[in-house]
Amino acid sequence: MSNPVISVVMSVYNGEKYLTEAIDSILNQTYTDFEFLIVEDASTDKSLEIISSYHDQRIVLVKNEINIGLTKSLNKGIKLAKGKYIARMDADDISLPLRLEKQILFMQLHPDVDICGTLYTVFGQYKYLQKLPLTHEQIKADLLFYTPIAHPTILMKKNIFKKYQYPENFLKAQDYALWIELINEYKFINLPESLLMYRTHLSQASIAEGTSQQEFALKALLLFLSKIDCKISQKYITIHKHLFLGETVPLEITEQWLKEIIKINASTHFFDNKSLHKSLFYIWKSQCSLPRKNSMMVIKKFYSSPLFLKGRLSLFEYSKFIIKILIGIK
């Protein structure tokens, strides 16, 4: 295809088990003006054989002679892409048939948006709908604590990659590192609809790989904190790392640091105030939900803190929160 609107980029390494489903889900999209760049990263299983069995002119097979990893493979595929937009896909997920049609329509109707993600449905080992923030301001604030835009769901403008690429010193969490680089310059959005099935399975990540993912994510987080304020003390950086990893932090210390973030933002205006307070509220709620010694003290502290936002919890969420505290006593 000479001038496709979209270039779908997928890297494959030993993905034979779920690869056919992933490829078929792209080829069966209702929107058809795309090329499908598949970077085969020197697999030792039947991945290359599976890809080669397809005879669809939209598939562009790129074969790596040696394994170079996901980050470099994505950059390689994107450099070869001819589309105006880049869509990401992973070799073990399933894109729903209307995914590209709905994303490209939104991008064309909203030319100010640069990166468009969607909600997604987890299936396999676990099953649930993953909700995410929808607005750019909330995505930016939530970047403080996790990756609020799902990598395999994105559709983004190709011209972004004239200036940036996935940072090749990040073997894992390369998407989180890239979003941090882009968040002040480009507009992000998440569509309020699940358009991708995100597969969870036992072979997806070993304990060692999970640890590696965390290490690279923390490395990216440090870059983000330095953008917010280069003078943040090591004490607060350590606290933030624990919060980022969902680990238990004493409530007094948690509250102190979250209030400090508000104070810093009052000076730097890095985040939208309303979005930042919402993000901090949910981290405060999450910490208060973790098992602690005195449940009544936790409930009282939760509601008396300036971090508490009245009206943010529905009756159901409130009841669930209280029950979780009461049954979570150490």
State whether 179 and 35 are in the same domain: yes
State whether 26 and 154 are in the same domain: yes
- pLDDT tens-digit map of 183-238: 999 999 999 999 999 999 776 554 445 568 899 999 999 999 999 987 899 999 99
Residue 314, pLDDT score: 78
- pLDDT tens-digit map of 275-317: 999 999 999 999 998 888 888 888 889 989 999 987 777 788 7
5 token code pair = 């609107």
Q: What is the CA radius of gyration of the chain?
A: 21
In this structure, is residue 158 part of a structural domain? yes
In angstroms, what CA-CA distances link 267 with 16, 96, 116, 231, 271? 52, 44, 30, 13, 11
Residue 210, pLDDT score: 57
Domain tally, the chain: 2
In this structure, is residue 141 part of a structural domain? yes
Q: Helices H, strands E: what count in the chain? A: 12, 9
In this structure, is residue 194 part of a structural domain? yes
Query: Residue 71 sits in which domain range?
Result: 6-200
Residue 47, pLDDT score: 97
Regions in the chain scoring below 50 on pLDDT: 206-208, 329-330
Asked if 261 contacts 145 with a C-beta cutoff of 8 angstroms, the reply is no
Residue 162, pLDDT score: 93
Residue 208, pLDDT score: 46
In this structure, is residue 207 part of a structural domain? no
State whether 242 and 101 are in the same domain: no
Residue 291, pLDDT score: 86
In Å, how far from its chain's centre is CA 301? 31
Residue 268's CB: how many other CB atoms inside 10 A? 11
Phi, psi of 62 (to 5 degrees): -115, 115
Residue 323's CB: how many other CB atoms inside 10 A? 10
Residue 211, pLDDT score: 65
State whether 195 and 239 are in the same domain: no
Q: What gap in Å lies between CA 67 and CA 69, rounded to an integer?
A: 6
State whether 33 and 182 are in the same domain: yes
Residue 295's CB: how many other CB atoms inside 10 A? 18
Residue 275, pLDDT score: 97
In this structure, is residue 146 part of a structural domain? yes
State whether 196 and 248 are in the same domain: no
Predicted model pTM: 0.93
State whether 192 and 314 are in the same domain: no
State whether 100 and 32 are in the same domain: yes
- Mean of all residue pLDDT scores within the chain: 93
CATH of the domain at 26: 3.90.550.10
In Å, how far from its chain's centre is CA 93? 15
Residue 276, pLDDT score: 97
State whether 28 and 130 are in the same domain: yes
Q: If you search the block for the tokens 């040696």, which residue do you land on?
A: 66
